[in-house]
Amino acid sequence: MRYVLGLARNKRLQRVLGEAMEEARAAQERTDQPARRFRDFRYKTRKSWSRERRVIGKAEYLPGKANPRFVVTNLAIPEVSAKRLYRIRGDMENRIKEQQLCLFADRTSTAMLRANQLRLYFSSFAYVLMQGLRRLGLVGTAHVKAQSTTIRVTLLNIGAHIRITARKVWLSFSQTCPYAEDIAQILTNLQSNPVWMPPG
């Protein structure tokens, strides 16, 4: 199993990051913009860890505020930079938050475990479908990097007249629909992808 996990900062970790923090502070004061430096090093706790592990430190300085952060990983790929590894962890946290907040994975408030599990299944299915739509359908549109809430509200949660014939399904949108061209592009993208082609 591979992991990239957040690591609580302490005085020892902050001392390791001291020089990088000074570089970030000097850059922030010079540009008046947030500055970041990344360091890749080996670290072992005094008692709880059985061995050294790879730690990535982010030395960040915001206006008037130091913000050092750390992650620990067992990924031993030397060609992947410390900055990239740190961002991988941040991006995964964003995806978890997206499922929780945008696709209702946090709504597990019923008294029965099975009901909560079913709700989480539905949320997970929705997340997989949303990622497939983003990867295959939203290419070439303004929504390719949109969060799930934006996609759901602007592209999926709209009124349309549906007419089904023997050969086609017709979707008729209002002439004033602001996303009509995007929806047409999405349908074209999906139809041209073999993954979404109907069997036979």
pLDDT tens across the length of the chain (200 residues) = 778 888 999 999 999 999 999 999 999 999 999 999 999 999 999 888 999 999 999 999 998 889 999 999 888 776 678 888 887 777 777 777 888 888 888 888 888 999 999 999 999 999 989 988 988 899 888 898 888 889 988 888 888 889 999 998 888 888 888 888 888 899 899 888 876 565 55
145 and 67, same structural domain? no
58 and 131, same structural domain? no
In angstroms, the CA 113 to CA 87 distance is 34
Is 19 part of a structural domain of the chain?
yes
Cα first-last separation, the chain: 39
CA-based nearest residue to 36, from 50, 47, 20: 20
Quote the tokens at residue 107: 């709504």
DSSP code of residue 106: T
Cα dihedral across residues 81, 86, 91, 93: positive or negative: positive
177 and 111, same structural domain? yes
45 and 127, same structural domain? no
167 and 121, same structural domain? yes
Task: Look at residues 91, 117, 141 and tell me which one is the last residue of a structural domain.
Answer: 91
DSSP code of residue 199: P
The H or E element that residue 124 is part of is helix 113-132
84 and 10, same structural domain? yes
Task: Look at residues 66, 91, 116 and tell me which one is the last residue of a structural domain.
Answer: 91
Q: What is the CA radius of gyration of the chain?
A: 23
Is 97 part of a structural domain of the chain?
no
190 and 118, same structural domain? yes
How many domains are there within the chain? 2
User: Residue 102's pLDDT is what?
Assistant: 85
163 and 119, same structural domain? yes
Is 200 part of a structural domain of the chain?
no
81 and 17, same structural domain? yes
**Sequence-separated (6 or more) residues with CB below 8 Å from residue 92:** 4
107 and 33, same structural domain? no
Is 59 part of a structural domain of the chain?
yes
User: Residue 121's pLDDT is what?
Assistant: 92
55 and 138, same structural domain? no
| Residue range(s) defining the domain that contains residue 115 | 103-195
Total Cβ atoms within 10 A of residue 57: 25
In angstroms, the CA 84 to CA 80 distance is 6
Is 98 part of a structural domain of the chain?
no
120 and 65, same structural domain? no
Torsion of CA 13, 16, 17, 20, to 10 degrees: 180
Task: Look at residues 64, 91, 118 and tell me which one is the last residue of a structural domain.
Answer: 91
